[in-house]
A and B are shown apart, each in its own frame.
Chain A
Amino acid sequence: MTNHWNDIQHADAILIMGSNPAENHPISFKWVNEARTKRGAKLIVVDPRFTRSAATADIYARLRPGTDIAFLGAVINYAIEKNRIHEEYVKNYTDAAYIVNPAFQGATDLDGLFSGLTGAKYDKATWAYEMDENGIPKQDLTLQDPLCVYQLLKKHYSRYTIKKVSDITGCDAADLEAVCETYTATCKPELSGTIMYAMGTTQHTYGSQNVRAFAVLQLLLGNIGNAGGGINALRGESNVQGSTDHGALFHILTGYLKYPKANQPTLAVYNEQNTPKNKDPKSLNWWGNTPKYMASLMKAWWRDADLETAYSYLPKIDDGKNYSYLPIYSAMANGEIKGMFVWGMNPAVGAPSSKMIRKAIAQLDWMVCVDLWETETSAFWQKEAGVNPADIKTEVFLLPAASSMEKEGSISNSGRWCQWRYKAIDPVGHAEDDLWIINQIVNRTKALYAKEGGAFPDPIANLTWNYGKVGLDGKIHPPSPREVAKEINGYFIAEKEIEDKAKGEIKKFKPGDIVPSFAMLQDDGSTVCGCWVYAGSIDDKGENKMMKRDPADPTGLGMFPNWSWSWPVNRRIVYNRASVNVEGKPFSKEKPVLWWSPLKKAWLGDIPDGNGDPDAILPFIMVPHGRGMLFAAGMSDGPFPEHYEPLESVVKNTLSNSQVSPVITRWDEKAKEETCNPILAAGCIAALYGSEEAKEFPTICSTYRVSEHWQTGQMTRWIPWLNELVPNQFVEMSEEFAREHGITFGDKVKLTSARNVEGITAYAMITKRLKPFRIQGKDIHMVGITWHFGYKGLATGGNANDLTPFIGDPNTMIPEYKAFLVKVEKA
């Protein structure tokens, strides 16, 4: 989230789209209720289904799954057409005025495509700003130049009229207009609108562009950096924010540092390629500090090696490859991967095309599962999985893990609040916490390397491991999460004098001193820091700020600066310098996040996002030019979000003749190749528009969650009280669909897809909350199913992901779980 949970109460309009917080974040949903009760905020819910969130909404608008970009396009077009923009904000804080390379051509000119398409990739040379002689983008502050971002944006979105979008999305024109009218009303400087989104936005073929569309809208309305605004991702697990912060994603190191590639053989090259350059003195270009963060990370992991040697210990990603979910399981199916650790995860149920995934897992030599329960993944070789155990050669280990109450550590929530948690009770039986387990693995591996040598022992042998060491007695001591937290925060390992420009003083540090903030991190190896965004989470006395529980709220805006600790540097709302004008006066007098005190010559309120006098720096410090990007050249599929149909669709794209984006990885085409592994061939088939498969599987299907179960159901389907509430898998369908298919209450239905003709069965839930979509004069139906069920647990049921496709967003590889095709028949 750019903002945080408590902040939702300050919104004047709340757009819930691609999420269902009343269902999946029921406790935090109270902040939505606060906004409505306390300030009469309007709640807008946009969802293909009338969800629990929709049940309380002021405005509910339906949209066909996979048409979010079109829907948002209508809202953006409405804002531009009716001049519902926060002009001062747009001119000063976004790239609206920047001039773009005249060779750039957008979707309006190129029938849904952008300039530079070569094969299945875009050459982004034309997606660039025109620079002046100082290396700063040229601007037209009148926003009239046809080459300025604003005019290009306007041209791009001019095609997204209410009528057109209504026909694409199946949303009633009146409802669409109501959403546009209500939400864009927050363009007024003193008002704010917040967008709450989750997997309904991201788990799509074009998920990243869905979020990008939110960014464009919020920037136009001036809704980023203020209280009650922001783009707020509702994270789906209690510490997924923490896990991505600490690098548990395929493409990053800790703190979102980019993962090194094979064509970056040295740290110097890595730094050169990954450190954005900026000539504008007003732009802090914070990623310009990459070398400092990278150096500190290298030192955290290999203290005794020099920086280049340390860097050489990092595995590199082969050119042109990525190791996201889809390629990993593809490689696994091909037998290229020998073993896998499955740590607190259940891909046998949660992965797309999960039947294929289970077959891929069967190609492993070994698998170690660390979990609280015997999950579908750890039991993939059992009869319940529908296989013959004798046919599976994989050696499976199940290490029992401690639950969250049985271990100490930190949890970082959606709002970036990092909260320390304590151990309440000991784990049962042989279960141990994750830190203990990994500590055992590292120490034993080090010992094995020391004893037996190996192909390249150095990265492990030289790994600095200051917690849970082997004692004099030869036993491995349990590690302390507090020691780990200290290393993550960082400390000095050499004497250093650093000038604090803001305070005009010299700070002296000696080895062992805590790094007070990432501003003090060095690129010369004198600092250690496990994750730069967490620098500052430990104070200079060594006390862990994540443990703080002081309920004082000086601004009265629910920021609670001394309750836990938020990154970065305890800032609660990021980009908050965009909440004030160039004189430092807040746009909203009623709910000011930040304001400049000319007397104190300092910022009051939240921690400012970038120190310095008003107008001295630009608010969007994480992008090179310091201004919020309406034109995002970093996206692989286009600088502006463009509507394409999902890969599996029964609807022709009527916005352009480009049915799908040309840059998505086409696993379905790879599946058709002769050399393709049969496991992949079966599991990657896609029901493309106009294909035989689309005729056979004509119904849109979407997967989602219910309050009562969680994720793949492994934490909830062993609990009788929860199974009592939702005992069986069920498929939601409209009354019209049920009638057409002769399905009545009590019936079970069978769902099949192009990848799974055996299908799964589930009860039919016939409801008024789903209705057919009227698209191009025809009724298109959708059904919905939870992905909570599998074959292990006290309650079992059909696994929804056995049906889902193997498609990944071109930017993040996140799979398409929300808009694919199935066939529904009475079982």
Chain B
Amino acid sequence: MAEYIKLIDVTKCTGCRGCQVACKQWNSLPAVDTMFTGSLQNPKDLNYNTWCLIRFDEVEKDGKLNWLMRHDACMHCETPACAKACPSPGALTKNENGSVVHNPAYCIGCRSCIVACPFDIPRNDKALEKMAKCSLCHDRIDDGKKPACVTACPTGCLTFGTKEEMLKAAEKRAEKVKGVIYPANPHYETHVMYILPGTVGVEDFSHMNPHPKMPATLYWWKNLFKPFTLIGIAGVAGAAFLHYIIKGPHRVHEKKEGGE
């Protein structure tokens, strides 16, 4: 089964929001009540019913105005922090094709995934006690199609293909436009990648993590404390058993009746 990558070439994005609407249409997500936010960005943030969002930033750098438009959605990490944090089996599954997919049937609404995500992507509905996020249209991928957002994108900003194809294409394009590939952390691979223009930095894009990685606290929790809990309990129980059979219980010497 092939591994896929969704590549987002920010240098080609015109912020048309075709991806936002296509995502809603494919996933039958309702429109959210919105108000003017100060820019064209709407809704203001991802939410339970908005799984991808174009974020707008106006940045003046080196005397030039940059109007940055970025498609923000789940990064489909190779080692997803959300699935790692999730307490309910089946609620978040990492698939072979690279997608990290949520299943509302198993979600208990604890929001650990939202806290854990290095990109602050999953969103919840308080009343329904469920979370939701981009699923990389895994149902479409399984059927040989591309994600809805990629299919809708009119400029070729969003492309989709096998990991090898996309990594090659990303390198080529980044070189051509003198841009950078994101994320650049070899220890934290994702199945969604960006080509960012070289004229601005990652820090100029709102809601973009300049240092994407697995949160250290999550690592400590799941890779250390978790195994040690059972080791600790079992170990101590074993030690107690050993004490009982070796040293033996601390008996109290009762006085015989008649004394006192």
Q: Do A and B come from one complex?
A: yes
Q: List 25 A-B contacts (CB under 8 A).
A: A22-B16, A23-B16, A29-B154, A33-B155, A33-B156, A37-B176, A50-B67, A52-B14, A53-B14, A54-B67, A55-B66, A55-B67, A56-B11, A707-B17, A708-B40, A721-B25, A724-B43, A725-B20, A725-B42, A730-B36, A763-B36, A765-B39, A767-B39, A767-B58, A768-B58
Q: Contacts A707-B17, A722-B21, A763-B36 given; indicate if A727 touches B65 (C-beta within 8 A).
A: no
Select from chain B the residue with minimum beta-carbon distance to A719: B31
Once the chains bind, are A745 and B38 in contact (CB under 8 Å)? yes
Neighbour of B21 across the interface among A27, A53, A725, CB < 8 A: A725
Whole-angstrom distance between the alpha carbons of A768 and B67 in the complex?
9
B residues neighboring A (CB under 8 Å): 11-12, 14-18, 20-21, 24-25, 30-36, 38-40, 42-43, 58, 60, 65-67, 69, 154-156, 176
Once the chains bind, are A30 and B155 in contact (CB under 8 Å)? yes
Whole-angstrom distance between the alpha carbons of A33 and B154 in the complex?
11
Select from chain B the residue with minimum beta-carbon distance to A25: B154
Whole-angstrom distance between the alpha carbons of A366 and B177 in the complex?
60
Kindly provide the distance from the CB of B26 to the nearest chain A CB, expressed in whole angstroms.
12
Kindly provide the distance from the CB of A798 to the nearest chain B CB, expressed in whole angstroms.
12
Once the chains bind, are A766 and B17 in contact (CB under 8 Å)? no
Select from chain A the residue with minimum beta-carbon distance to B69: A55
Whole-angstrom distance between the alpha carbons of A706 and B69 in the complex?
15
* Majority SS at the chain B contact face: loop
A728 sits at the interface (CB 8 A) = yes
Q: Contacts A26-B16, A707-B17, A725-B17 given; indicate if A746 touches B67 (C-beta within 8 A).
A: no
Within 8 A of B (CB), among A704-749: 706-708, 720-728, 730, 745-746
A residues neighboring B (CB under 8 Å): 22-23, 26-27, 29-30, 33, 37, 50, 52-56, 60, 706-708, 720-728, 730, 745-746, 763, 765-769
Whole-angstrom distance between the alpha carbons of A29 and B60 in the complex?
25
Once the chains bind, are A728 and B154 in contact (CB under 8 Å)? no
Once the chains bind, are B35 and A727 in contact (CB under 8 Å)? yes
Which chain B residues border A723 with CB–CB below 8 Å? Answer: 31, 34
Once the chains bind, are A50 and B154 in contact (CB under 8 Å)? no
Neighbour of A721 across the interface among B31, B33, B35, B156, CB < 8 A: B31
Kindly provide the distance from the CB of B151 to the nearest chain A CB, expressed in whole angstroms.
12
Which chain B residues border A720 with CB–CB below 8 Å? Answer: 30-31
Given contacts A725-B42, A768-B60, 10 further A-B contacts (CB under 8 A): A23-B14, A26-B14, A33-B155, A55-B15, A56-B12, A60-B65, A720-B30, A721-B24, A725-B21, A725-B40
Whole-angstrom distance between the alpha carbons of A783 and B69 in the complex?
22
Neighbour of A707 across the interface among B11, B16, B35, CB < 8 A: B16
Select from chain A the residue with minimum beta-carbon distance to B54: A725
Whole-angstrom distance between the alpha carbons of A171 and B35 in the complex?
35
Once the chains bind, are B43 and A33 in contact (CB under 8 Å)? no
Q: Contacts A720-B30, A722-B21 given; indicate if A56 touches B36 (C-beta within 8 A).
A: no
Once the chains bind, are B39 and A26 in contact (CB under 8 Å)? no
Kindly provide the distance from the CB of B18 to the nearest chain A CB, expressed in whole angstroms.
7
Kindly provide the distance from the CB of A249 to the nearest chain B CB, expressed in whole angstroms.
30
Which chain A residues border B40 with CB–CB below 8 Å? Answer: 706, 708, 725-726
Which chain B residues border A727 with CB–CB below 8 Å? Answer: 34-36, 42
Whole-angstrom distance between the alpha carbons of A737 and B69 in the complex?
24
Neighbour of B17 across the interface among A22, A56, A708, A765, CB < 8 A: A708
Whole-angstrom distance between the alpha carbons of A768 and B32 in the complex?
28
Select from chain B the residue with minimum beta-carbon distance to A708: B17
Whole-angstrom distance between the alpha carbons of A707 and B156 in the complex?
17
Once the chains bind, are B42 and A26 in contact (CB under 8 Å)? no
Q: Contacts A29-B14, A768-B60, A769-B58 given; indicate if A728 touches B156 (C-beta within 8 A).
A: no
Most buried by B among A706, A708, A723, A746: A708
Whole-angstrom distance between the alpha carbons of A50 and B58 in the complex?
11
Which chain A residues border B65 with CB–CB below 8 Å? Answer: 50, 60, 768-769
Whole-angstrom distance between the alpha carbons of A725 and B43 in the complex?
7
Which chain B residues border A768 with CB–CB below 8 Å? Answer: 58, 60, 65
Select from chain A the residue with minimum beta-carbon distance to B14: A22
Select from chain B the residue with minimum beta-carbon distance to A50: B65
Kindly provide the distance from the CB of B70 to the nearest chain A CB, expressed in whole angstroms.
12
Whole-angstrom distance between the alpha carbons of A164 and B254 in the complex?
115
Whole-angstrom distance between the alpha carbons of A50 and B59 in the complex?
12
Kindly provide the distance from the CB of A681 to the nearest chain B CB, expressed in whole angstroms.
35
Kindly provide the distance from the CB of B254 to the nearest chain A CB, expressed in whole angstroms.
79
Once the chains bind, are A29 and B155 in contact (CB under 8 Å)? yes
Select from chain A the residue with minimum beta-carbon distance to B152: A27
Whole-angstrom distance between the alpha carbons of A430 and B18 in the complex?
31
Which chain A residues border B33 with CB–CB below 8 Å? Answer: 724
Neighbour of A765 across the interface among B15, B25, B38, B154, CB < 8 A: B38
Which chain B residues border A23 with CB–CB below 8 Å? Answer: 14, 16
Whole-angstrom distance between the alpha carbons of A720 and B34 in the complex?
10
Once the chains bind, are A728 and B11 in contact (CB under 8 Å)? no
Which chain A residues border B32 with CB–CB below 8 Å? Answer: 724
Select from chain B the residue with minimum beta-carbon distance to A768: B58
Once the chains bind, are A746 and B20 in contact (CB under 8 Å)? no
Most buried by B among A23, A37, A769: A37
9 closest cross-chain pairs (CB), A and B: A720-B31, A27-B154, A22-B14, A55-B67, A724-B31, A763-B36, A26-B16, A728-B36, A768-B58
Q: Contacts A769-B65, A769-B67 given; indicate if A724 touches B42 (C-beta within 8 A).
A: yes
Once the chains bind, are A33 and B67 in contact (CB under 8 Å)? no
Kindly provide the distance from the CB of B7 to the nearest chain A CB, expressed in whole angstroms.
14
